[in-house]
A and B are shown apart, each in its own frame.
Chain A
Amino acid sequence: MTTSAPVQTKEGALILDSHKLRWHYDRVEEWEAGERIAPVSVDMALTRACGAMCEFCYAIVQESQERSNIKVNHVRQLLDDFKEIGVRGVSLISDGESTISPVYVPFLEHAHELGIDVGNATNGWELPPEKMERVLPLLKWMRFTVVAGTPKAFARIMYKGSDHTQVFWRAMHHISHAVQFKRRKKLDVTLGIQMVLMPQYKDEILPFAQLGLDLGVDYAVIKHCSDDEQGSLGVNYSKYQETYDMLHQAEGMSTEQTKVIVKWDKIRDGDTAPYKRVYGPPFLLQISGSGLVAPSGQFFNTRYSKFHIGNFTEERFLDIFRSDRYWETMNYLASPYFDAKTMMGTLPIQHYINVALDRHVRRVELLRPATEPPPLHVNFL
Protein backbone atom coordinates (compact mmCIF):
# COMPACT_ATOMS: atom_id res chain seq x y z
CA MET A 1 0.00 0.00 0.00
CA THR A 2 2.94 2.33 0.48
CA THR A 3 3.64 3.23 -3.10
CA SER A 4 0.65 4.95 -4.67
CA ALA A 5 1.82 6.45 -7.94
CA PRO A 6 2.64 10.16 -7.98
CA VAL A 7 0.20 12.39 -9.81
CA GLN A 8 1.76 14.21 -12.75
CA THR A 9 0.92 17.88 -12.67
CA LYS A 10 2.06 20.72 -14.92
CA GLU A 11 4.75 21.52 -12.37
CA GLY A 12 6.02 18.04 -11.57
CA ALA A 13 5.17 14.83 -9.78
CA LEU A 14 2.92 15.32 -6.78
CA ILE A 15 2.76 12.72 -4.00
CA LEU A 16 -0.19 13.18 -1.68
CA ASP A 17 -1.33 9.60 -1.11
CA SER A 18 1.99 8.11 -0.07
CA HIS A 19 5.30 9.23 1.45
CA LYS A 20 8.71 10.52 0.35
CA LEU A 21 11.02 8.58 2.66
CA ARG A 22 12.98 7.14 -0.26
CA TRP A 23 14.37 10.61 -0.98
CA HIS A 24 15.59 10.84 2.60
CA TYR A 25 17.19 7.45 2.76
CA ASP A 26 20.18 8.88 4.62
CA ARG A 27 17.94 9.43 7.64
CA VAL A 28 16.44 5.94 7.32
CA GLU A 29 19.91 4.40 7.37
CA GLU A 30 21.00 6.47 10.37
CA TRP A 31 17.82 5.58 12.24
CA GLU A 32 18.22 1.92 11.49
CA ALA A 33 21.81 2.12 12.75
CA GLY A 34 20.51 3.36 16.09
CA GLU A 35 21.37 7.02 15.72
CA ARG A 36 19.41 9.96 17.04
CA ILE A 37 18.12 11.47 13.82
CA ALA A 38 16.68 14.91 13.25
CA PRO A 39 13.17 15.03 11.82
CA VAL A 40 13.06 15.48 8.07
CA SER A 41 9.80 17.39 8.48
CA VAL A 42 8.01 19.09 11.32
CA ASP A 43 4.27 19.68 11.31
CA MET A 44 3.25 22.50 13.62
CA ALA A 45 0.93 25.43 14.31
CA LEU A 46 1.66 28.90 15.62
CA THR A 47 -1.53 29.08 17.69
CA ARG A 48 -4.34 26.78 18.78
CA ALA A 49 -6.90 29.42 17.97
CA CYS A 50 -9.05 29.34 14.84
CA GLY A 51 -11.87 31.45 13.46
CA ALA A 52 -13.65 28.49 11.90
CA MET A 53 -15.90 25.96 13.57
CA CYS A 54 -15.33 22.88 11.45
CA GLU A 55 -17.44 19.91 12.40
CA PHE A 56 -14.62 17.50 11.62
CA CYS A 57 -11.84 19.39 13.39
CA TYR A 58 -9.41 17.08 15.15
CA ALA A 59 -8.14 20.03 17.23
CA ILE A 60 -11.24 19.55 19.35
CA VAL A 61 -9.56 16.56 20.98
CA GLN A 62 -6.04 18.02 21.18
CA GLU A 63 -6.21 20.32 24.20
CA SER A 64 -3.19 20.06 26.46
CA GLN A 65 -2.53 21.65 29.86
CA GLU A 66 -1.42 25.04 28.63
CA ARG A 67 -1.76 27.40 25.70
CA SER A 68 1.46 29.33 25.56
CA ASN A 69 1.67 32.64 23.78
CA ILE A 70 4.12 32.01 20.95
CA LYS A 71 6.20 35.12 20.32
CA VAL A 72 8.52 36.16 17.50
CA ASN A 73 11.68 35.36 19.45
CA HIS A 74 10.34 31.86 20.17
CA VAL A 75 9.83 31.04 16.50
CA ARG A 76 13.11 32.59 15.43
CA GLN A 77 14.97 30.41 17.92
CA LEU A 78 12.90 27.40 16.96
CA LEU A 79 13.76 27.83 13.29
CA ASP A 80 17.42 28.40 14.11
CA ASP A 81 17.37 25.12 16.03
CA PHE A 82 15.63 23.35 13.14
CA LYS A 83 18.34 24.60 10.83
CA GLU A 84 21.11 23.50 13.16
CA ILE A 85 19.87 19.90 13.50
CA GLY A 86 18.82 19.52 9.86
CA VAL A 87 15.04 19.81 9.64
CA ARG A 88 14.28 20.16 5.93
CA GLY A 89 10.63 21.18 5.77
CA VAL A 90 7.98 22.64 8.07
CA SER A 91 4.28 22.38 7.40
CA LEU A 92 2.01 24.80 9.23
CA ILE A 93 -1.01 22.59 9.76
CA SER A 94 -1.37 20.92 13.16
CA ASP A 95 -3.96 22.14 15.66
CA GLY A 96 -4.55 25.82 14.92
CA GLU A 97 -5.01 28.41 12.17
CA SER A 98 -1.48 29.78 11.92
CA THR A 99 -2.40 32.68 9.62
CA ILE A 100 -4.12 34.50 12.48
CA SER A 101 -1.01 34.46 14.65
CA PRO A 102 1.03 37.70 14.79
CA VAL A 103 4.17 35.60 14.34
CA TYR A 104 2.94 34.05 11.05
CA VAL A 105 4.71 36.41 8.64
CA PRO A 106 7.92 36.68 10.72
CA PHE A 107 8.00 32.89 10.89
CA LEU A 108 7.77 32.55 7.11
CA GLU A 109 10.35 35.25 6.52
CA HIS A 110 12.89 33.74 8.89
CA ALA A 111 12.38 30.22 7.54
CA HIS A 112 12.91 31.59 4.05
CA GLU A 113 16.14 33.29 5.12
CA LEU A 114 17.37 30.01 6.58
CA GLY A 115 16.42 27.98 3.52
CA ILE A 116 13.88 25.79 5.30
CA ASP A 117 10.94 24.85 3.09
CA VAL A 118 7.54 25.81 4.45
CA GLY A 119 4.04 24.79 3.41
CA ASN A 120 0.77 25.97 4.91
CA ALA A 121 -2.71 24.50 5.25
CA THR A 122 -5.27 27.18 6.03
CA ASN A 123 -8.90 28.13 5.69
CA GLY A 124 -7.61 31.24 3.90
CA TRP A 125 -10.12 33.50 5.58
CA GLU A 126 -7.46 35.79 7.03
CA LEU A 127 -5.36 36.06 3.89
CA PRO A 128 -6.64 39.12 2.06
CA PRO A 129 -4.80 40.05 -1.17
CA GLU A 130 -2.06 42.18 0.35
CA LYS A 131 -1.13 39.59 2.97
CA MET A 132 -1.44 36.78 0.44
CA GLU A 133 1.00 38.53 -1.87
CA ARG A 134 3.45 38.92 0.97
CA VAL A 135 3.45 35.27 2.02
CA LEU A 136 3.01 33.28 -1.20
CA PRO A 137 6.60 33.86 -2.41
CA LEU A 138 7.81 32.41 0.91
CA LEU A 139 5.94 29.12 0.57
CA LYS A 140 6.41 25.86 -1.31
CA TRP A 141 2.71 25.08 -1.13
CA MET A 142 -0.50 26.45 0.25
CA ARG A 143 -3.53 24.24 0.73
CA PHE A 144 -6.92 25.67 1.51
CA THR A 145 -9.45 23.73 3.53
CA VAL A 146 -12.62 23.85 1.45
CA VAL A 147 -14.88 21.21 2.81
CA ALA A 148 -17.76 21.60 0.37
CA GLY A 149 -18.36 22.84 -3.13
CA THR A 150 -21.53 24.78 -2.39
CA PRO A 151 -21.74 27.93 -0.25
CA LYS A 152 -24.47 26.76 2.10
CA ALA A 153 -22.84 23.42 2.87
CA PHE A 154 -19.47 25.12 3.30
CA ALA A 155 -20.96 27.57 5.82
CA ARG A 156 -22.89 24.83 7.61
CA ILE A 157 -19.90 22.53 8.05
CA MET A 158 -17.16 25.09 8.62
CA TYR A 159 -19.02 27.90 10.37
CA LYS A 160 -22.13 28.83 12.29
CA GLY A 161 -24.78 27.65 9.86
CA SER A 162 -25.86 27.55 6.25
CA ASP A 163 -26.95 31.19 6.23
CA HIS A 164 -23.40 32.40 6.87
CA THR A 165 -22.21 32.01 3.30
CA GLN A 166 -20.03 35.10 3.60
CA VAL A 167 -17.21 32.84 4.79
CA PHE A 168 -17.42 30.83 1.57
CA TRP A 169 -17.26 33.89 -0.64
CA ARG A 170 -14.44 35.38 1.43
CA ALA A 171 -12.42 32.17 1.04
CA MET A 172 -13.13 31.99 -2.70
CA HIS A 173 -12.05 35.59 -3.19
CA HIS A 174 -8.75 34.94 -1.42
CA ILE A 175 -8.04 31.64 -3.16
CA SER A 176 -8.86 33.10 -6.53
CA HIS A 177 -6.51 35.99 -5.87
CA ALA A 178 -3.77 33.54 -4.88
CA VAL A 179 -4.17 31.68 -8.18
CA GLN A 180 -4.02 34.88 -10.21
CA PHE A 181 -1.04 36.22 -8.27
CA LYS A 182 0.88 32.97 -8.62
CA ARG A 183 0.34 32.98 -12.39
CA ARG A 184 1.21 36.63 -12.77
CA LYS A 185 4.44 36.32 -10.79
CA LYS A 186 5.23 32.77 -11.97
CA LEU A 187 5.71 31.72 -8.36
CA ASP A 188 7.14 28.35 -7.37
CA VAL A 189 4.26 27.57 -5.05
CA THR A 190 1.67 24.82 -5.45
CA LEU A 191 -1.91 25.77 -4.66
CA GLY A 192 -4.49 23.22 -3.67
CA ILE A 193 -7.84 22.86 -1.99
CA GLN A 194 -8.71 20.04 0.38
CA MET A 195 -11.96 18.41 1.35
CA VAL A 196 -11.97 16.52 4.64
CA LEU A 197 -14.57 13.93 3.77
CA MET A 198 -17.06 12.65 6.29
CA PRO A 199 -19.29 10.02 4.68
CA GLN A 200 -22.33 12.25 5.18
CA TYR A 201 -20.74 14.94 2.98
CA LYS A 202 -20.79 12.73 -0.10
CA ASP A 203 -23.16 15.02 -2.04
CA GLU A 204 -20.46 17.68 -1.87
CA ILE A 205 -17.79 15.57 -3.56
CA LEU A 206 -18.58 16.48 -7.17
CA PRO A 207 -19.30 20.18 -6.46
CA PHE A 208 -15.96 20.30 -4.62
CA ALA A 209 -14.11 18.85 -7.59
CA GLN A 210 -15.86 21.30 -9.93
CA LEU A 211 -14.92 24.16 -7.61
CA GLY A 212 -11.27 23.13 -7.82
CA LEU A 213 -11.49 23.27 -11.62
CA ASP A 214 -13.28 26.62 -11.56
CA LEU A 215 -10.73 28.15 -9.21
CA GLY A 216 -7.87 26.87 -11.35
CA VAL A 217 -5.85 25.55 -8.41
CA ASP A 218 -3.19 22.93 -9.08
CA TYR A 219 -5.04 20.19 -7.25
CA ALA A 220 -8.18 19.40 -5.31
CA VAL A 221 -7.61 16.60 -2.82
CA ILE A 222 -10.15 14.59 -0.89
CA LYS A 223 -9.05 12.89 2.31
CA HIS A 224 -10.55 10.90 5.15
CA CYS A 225 -11.39 12.35 8.55
CA SER A 226 -9.26 11.27 11.52
CA ASP A 227 -10.83 10.43 14.85
CA ASP A 228 -9.46 9.60 18.25
CA GLU A 229 -9.62 6.11 19.73
CA GLN A 230 -12.79 6.99 21.64
CA GLY A 231 -14.51 8.04 18.41
CA SER A 232 -15.18 11.54 19.75
CA LEU A 233 -15.86 13.01 16.29
CA GLY A 234 -18.26 10.22 15.38
CA VAL A 235 -16.66 9.27 12.06
CA ASN A 236 -18.35 6.17 10.65
CA TYR A 237 -15.54 4.51 8.69
CA SER A 238 -17.76 1.71 7.43
CA LYS A 239 -19.74 4.27 5.42
CA TYR A 240 -16.81 5.47 3.32
CA GLN A 241 -17.40 2.68 0.85
CA GLU A 242 -20.65 4.36 -0.15
CA THR A 243 -18.64 7.32 -1.42
CA TYR A 244 -16.33 5.34 -3.73
CA ASP A 245 -18.35 5.81 -6.95
CA MET A 246 -18.49 9.54 -6.49
CA LEU A 247 -14.80 9.68 -5.61
CA HIS A 248 -13.96 7.87 -8.86
CA GLN A 249 -16.18 10.28 -10.77
CA ALA A 250 -14.43 13.22 -9.11
CA GLU A 251 -11.00 11.88 -10.08
CA GLY A 252 -12.23 11.60 -13.64
CA MET A 253 -12.89 15.34 -13.71
CA SER A 254 -9.14 16.10 -13.57
CA THR A 255 -7.85 18.50 -16.20
CA GLU A 256 -4.36 19.41 -17.29
CA GLN A 257 -4.50 22.43 -14.98
CA THR A 258 -6.24 20.88 -11.96
CA LYS A 259 -5.78 17.34 -10.69
CA VAL A 260 -8.51 15.86 -8.53
CA ILE A 261 -6.82 13.49 -6.12
CA VAL A 262 -8.34 11.03 -3.65
CA LYS A 263 -6.25 9.75 -0.74
CA TRP A 264 -7.42 6.21 -1.32
CA ASP A 265 -4.92 4.53 0.97
CA LYS A 266 -6.08 6.42 4.03
CA ILE A 267 -9.75 6.16 3.12
CA ARG A 268 -9.46 2.41 2.64
CA ASP A 269 -7.37 1.85 5.80
CA GLY A 270 -10.15 3.55 7.76
CA ASP A 271 -9.82 3.12 11.49
CA THR A 272 -7.52 0.10 11.42
CA ALA A 273 -3.81 0.72 11.90
CA PRO A 274 -1.92 -2.02 10.02
CA TYR A 275 1.02 -1.69 12.44
CA LYS A 276 1.56 -2.35 16.14
CA ARG A 277 4.40 0.09 16.76
CA VAL A 278 4.78 3.70 15.65
CA TYR A 279 8.11 4.46 14.00
CA GLY A 280 7.22 7.64 12.11
CA PRO A 281 7.59 10.46 14.68
CA PRO A 282 11.42 10.67 14.67
CA PHE A 283 11.10 11.46 10.94
CA LEU A 284 7.99 13.63 11.09
CA LEU A 285 7.56 15.40 14.42
CA GLN A 286 4.51 17.36 15.47
CA ILE A 287 4.36 20.51 17.56
CA SER A 288 1.15 22.02 18.88
CA GLY A 289 0.05 25.63 18.55
CA SER A 290 0.34 25.58 22.34
CA GLY A 291 4.11 25.18 21.98
CA LEU A 292 3.92 21.58 23.15
CA VAL A 293 6.37 19.14 21.58
CA ALA A 294 4.97 15.61 21.39
CA PRO A 295 5.71 12.79 18.98
CA SER A 296 2.34 13.04 17.27
CA GLY A 297 -0.59 15.42 17.29
CA GLN A 298 -2.67 12.53 18.48
CA PHE A 299 -0.87 12.84 21.82
CA PHE A 300 -1.37 16.57 22.41
CA ASN A 301 -4.36 16.09 24.70
CA THR A 302 -3.70 16.05 28.44
CA ARG A 303 -4.68 12.38 28.43
CA TYR A 304 -1.38 11.50 26.75
CA SER A 305 0.82 13.62 29.03
CA LYS A 306 3.32 10.81 29.45
CA PHE A 307 4.27 11.47 25.81
CA HIS A 308 4.70 15.22 26.36
CA ILE A 309 8.36 16.02 25.86
CA GLY A 310 8.63 19.78 26.32
CA ASN A 311 7.40 23.18 25.23
CA PHE A 312 9.53 25.33 22.97
CA THR A 313 8.31 28.53 24.64
CA GLU A 314 9.73 27.27 27.93
CA GLU A 315 13.06 25.90 26.73
CA ARG A 316 15.07 25.77 23.51
CA PHE A 317 13.93 23.15 21.03
CA LEU A 318 17.56 22.13 20.68
CA ASP A 319 17.63 21.12 24.35
CA ILE A 320 14.36 19.21 23.96
CA PHE A 321 15.66 17.37 20.90
CA ARG A 322 18.94 16.46 22.57
CA SER A 323 17.35 15.31 25.82
CA ASP A 324 17.06 11.68 26.85
CA ARG A 325 13.32 12.22 27.43
CA TYR A 326 12.85 12.93 23.70
CA TRP A 327 14.30 9.55 22.80
CA GLU A 328 12.73 7.68 25.71
CA THR A 329 9.36 8.84 24.40
CA MET A 330 10.15 7.83 20.81
CA ASN A 331 11.39 4.50 22.08
CA TYR A 332 8.23 3.89 24.10
CA LEU A 333 6.20 4.07 20.89
CA ALA A 334 8.43 1.33 19.47
CA SER A 335 8.16 -0.83 22.58
CA PRO A 336 5.81 -3.73 23.27
CA TYR A 337 3.98 -1.52 25.78
CA PHE A 338 2.57 0.64 23.01
CA ASP A 339 -0.33 -0.59 20.91
CA ALA A 340 -1.09 1.61 17.90
CA LYS A 341 -4.45 -0.04 17.46
CA THR A 342 -5.85 0.94 20.86
CA MET A 343 -3.70 3.74 22.26
CA MET A 344 -3.99 6.38 19.55
CA GLY A 345 -6.53 7.75 17.13
CA THR A 346 -7.04 6.78 13.53
CA LEU A 347 -4.71 7.65 10.71
CA PRO A 348 -2.25 10.13 12.21
CA ILE A 349 -0.31 12.50 9.98
CA GLN A 350 2.58 10.00 10.13
CA HIS A 351 0.36 7.17 8.86
CA TYR A 352 2.08 6.65 5.50
CA ILE A 353 5.56 6.62 7.00
CA ASN A 354 4.42 4.52 9.96
CA VAL A 355 3.22 1.91 7.48
CA ALA A 356 6.35 2.09 5.33
CA LEU A 357 8.79 1.92 8.26
CA ASP A 358 6.89 -0.92 9.89
CA ARG A 359 6.99 -2.92 6.65
CA HIS A 360 10.68 -2.09 6.30
CA VAL A 361 11.51 -3.20 9.85
CA ARG A 362 9.52 -6.42 9.44
CA ARG A 363 11.22 -7.00 6.09
CA VAL A 364 7.86 -7.18 4.32
CA GLU A 365 8.80 -4.41 1.90
CA LEU A 366 12.23 -2.82 2.14
CA LEU A 367 12.64 0.88 1.59
CA ARG A 368 15.21 1.66 -1.11
CA PRO A 369 16.89 4.94 -1.95
CA ALA A 370 15.12 6.83 -4.71
CA THR A 371 16.71 6.80 -8.13
CA GLU A 372 14.16 9.00 -9.83
CA PRO A 373 14.17 12.82 -9.57
CA PRO A 374 12.60 14.22 -6.42
CA PRO A 375 8.88 14.97 -6.54
CA LEU A 376 7.38 18.33 -5.67
CA HIS A 377 7.67 19.23 -1.99
CA VAL A 378 10.19 16.50 -1.31
CA ASN A 379 10.98 17.87 2.14
CA PHE A 380 7.45 17.28 3.37
CA LEU A 381 7.31 13.57 4.15
Chain B
Amino acid sequence: MVRVRPAVDLSFAEVEVPHPGEAWRVATVAERHGLVMAHLPIDVGPCVRLLKTSQSGSVIMELTQHVLAASRGKLLMRIEQAVKHYVDPAITVWLEPKGDKNALRLLRGIEVKEDGTIEKEPLT
Protein backbone atom coordinates (compact mmCIF):
# COMPACT_ATOMS: atom_id res chain seq x y z
CA MET B 1 0.00 0.00 0.00
CA VAL B 2 1.41 3.40 -0.94
CA ARG B 3 1.13 5.91 1.85
CA VAL B 4 0.46 9.60 1.36
CA ARG B 5 3.58 10.37 3.32
CA PRO B 6 6.47 8.19 2.14
CA ALA B 7 8.08 5.89 4.68
CA VAL B 8 11.41 7.51 3.84
CA ASP B 9 11.52 10.96 2.26
CA LEU B 10 14.15 10.84 -0.51
CA SER B 11 14.12 14.53 -1.37
CA PHE B 12 17.02 15.66 0.84
CA ALA B 13 19.91 13.70 -0.69
CA GLU B 14 21.88 16.81 -1.58
CA VAL B 15 20.69 19.26 1.07
CA GLU B 16 23.36 20.57 3.45
CA VAL B 17 22.81 20.23 7.18
CA PRO B 18 21.95 23.54 8.87
CA HIS B 19 24.66 25.34 10.83
CA PRO B 20 23.94 27.15 14.10
CA GLY B 21 22.87 30.77 13.79
CA GLU B 22 24.76 33.64 15.32
CA ALA B 23 22.58 33.85 18.41
CA TRP B 24 23.60 30.32 19.41
CA ARG B 25 27.24 30.73 18.43
CA VAL B 26 27.85 33.90 20.43
CA ALA B 27 25.89 32.78 23.48
CA THR B 28 27.84 31.90 26.61
CA VAL B 29 27.75 28.36 27.95
CA ALA B 30 25.29 29.46 30.64
CA GLU B 31 23.09 31.18 28.07
CA ARG B 32 23.07 28.09 25.84
CA HIS B 33 22.14 25.90 28.79
CA GLY B 34 19.37 28.31 29.70
CA LEU B 35 18.00 28.29 26.15
CA VAL B 36 17.88 24.51 26.01
CA MET B 37 16.39 24.04 29.46
CA ALA B 38 13.74 26.67 28.83
CA HIS B 39 12.43 24.80 25.83
CA LEU B 40 12.37 21.21 26.99
CA PRO B 41 8.90 19.68 26.76
CA ILE B 42 7.44 19.96 30.26
CA ASP B 43 6.88 16.25 30.79
CA VAL B 44 10.43 15.17 29.88
CA GLY B 45 12.26 17.61 32.13
CA PRO B 46 12.61 15.24 35.08
CA CYS B 47 13.98 12.44 32.87
CA VAL B 48 17.08 14.22 31.59
CA ARG B 49 20.02 16.23 32.80
CA LEU B 50 21.85 18.64 30.51
CA LEU B 51 25.60 18.09 30.62
CA LYS B 52 27.18 20.02 27.77
CA THR B 53 26.44 22.26 24.84
CA SER B 54 28.80 23.23 22.09
CA GLN B 55 29.05 26.10 19.63
CA SER B 56 28.69 23.60 16.81
CA GLY B 57 25.16 22.78 18.00
CA SER B 58 25.56 19.51 19.84
CA VAL B 59 23.77 19.14 23.15
CA ILE B 60 24.86 16.31 25.44
CA MET B 61 22.44 14.98 28.02
CA GLU B 62 22.06 12.02 30.29
CA LEU B 63 18.95 10.17 31.35
CA THR B 64 18.24 10.39 35.06
CA GLN B 65 16.24 7.17 35.06
CA HIS B 66 16.17 3.98 33.03
CA VAL B 67 14.03 4.36 29.96
CA LEU B 68 13.17 1.32 27.86
CA ALA B 69 14.61 1.19 24.36
CA ALA B 70 11.11 1.49 22.94
CA SER B 71 10.69 4.89 24.56
CA ARG B 72 14.08 6.54 24.78
CA GLY B 73 14.49 7.22 21.08
CA LYS B 74 11.10 8.92 20.95
CA LEU B 75 11.84 10.87 24.11
CA LEU B 76 15.10 12.25 22.76
CA MET B 77 13.62 12.96 19.35
CA ARG B 78 10.89 15.02 21.04
CA ILE B 79 13.48 16.99 22.95
CA GLU B 80 15.50 17.61 19.81
CA GLN B 81 12.44 18.67 17.81
CA ALA B 82 11.45 21.16 20.50
CA VAL B 83 14.90 22.68 20.78
CA LYS B 84 15.31 22.80 17.00
CA HIS B 85 11.96 24.53 16.73
CA TYR B 86 12.36 27.08 19.49
CA VAL B 87 16.11 27.66 19.68
CA ASP B 88 18.04 26.72 16.53
CA PRO B 89 17.37 24.13 13.79
CA ALA B 90 21.02 23.06 13.83
CA ILE B 91 20.93 21.71 17.37
CA THR B 92 21.39 17.96 17.74
CA VAL B 93 20.79 16.02 20.94
CA TRP B 94 23.02 13.16 22.07
CA LEU B 95 23.52 11.23 25.27
CA GLU B 96 26.73 10.81 27.20
CA PRO B 97 28.44 7.74 25.66
CA LYS B 98 28.98 4.52 27.58
CA GLY B 99 32.21 2.53 27.56
CA ASP B 100 32.65 -1.15 26.83
CA LYS B 101 31.58 -3.51 29.64
CA ASN B 102 33.48 -6.48 28.26
CA ALA B 103 35.77 -7.54 31.08
CA LEU B 104 38.31 -9.29 28.85
CA ARG B 105 38.75 -6.39 26.48
CA LEU B 106 39.15 -4.02 29.41
CA LEU B 107 42.15 -6.04 30.51
CA ARG B 108 44.17 -4.78 27.61
CA GLY B 109 44.19 -1.16 28.69
CA ILE B 110 41.03 0.33 27.30
CA GLU B 111 39.90 3.04 29.63
CA VAL B 112 36.61 4.91 29.59
CA LYS B 113 37.28 8.37 30.88
CA GLU B 114 34.87 10.50 32.88
CA ASP B 115 33.92 12.54 29.84
CA GLY B 116 32.86 9.34 28.07
CA THR B 117 35.76 9.23 25.61
CA ILE B 118 37.68 6.00 25.27
CA GLU B 119 41.41 5.85 25.62
CA LYS B 120 43.56 2.91 24.55
CA GLU B 121 47.12 2.24 25.49
CA PRO B 122 49.27 1.08 22.59
CA LEU B 123 50.09 -2.60 22.66
CA THR B 124 53.62 -3.64 23.33
Contacts and interface: CB of A to CB of B under 8 A. Distances in A.
A234 interface: yes
Interface in B44-70: 63, 66-70
Given A282-B7, A331-B7, A336 B17 contact: yes
Contacts, number: 174
Contacts of A59: 100, 102, 105
Contacts of A306: 72-73, 76-77, 80, 93-95
Nearest to A309: B73
A232 B98 contact: no
Grouping DSSP codes into helix (H, G, I), strand (E, B) and loop, the A interface class, with mixed when no group exceeds half, is loop
Nearest to B108: A53
Interface residues on B, range: 35 or more
B117 A303 contact: no
A137 B2 CA distance: 40
B2 A35 contact: yes
Nearest to B93: A306
Interface in A303-329: 303-311, 314-315, 320, 323, 325, 327-329
Given A53-B108, A327-B7, A339 B13 contact: no
Interface stretch (A63-71, A241-249, A260-268): A63-71
29 contacts: A31-B8, A33-B2, A34-B2, A34-B8, A35-B2, A35-B7, A65-B63, A65-B67, A66-B69, A275-B13, A277-B13, A282-B7, A282-B8, A302-B97, A303-B98, A303-B116, A305-B73, A310-B69, A311-B69, A325-B70, A330-B7, A330-B8, A335-B9, A336-B17, A337-B17, A337-B18, A337-B89, A361-B13, A362-B14
CB-based closest 3 A-B pairs:
A34-B6, A306-B76, A303-B97
Interface of B: 1-3, 5-10, 12-18, 63, 66-70, 72-74, 76-77, 80, 84, 89, 92-102, 104-105, 107-108, 110, 116-118, 120, 123
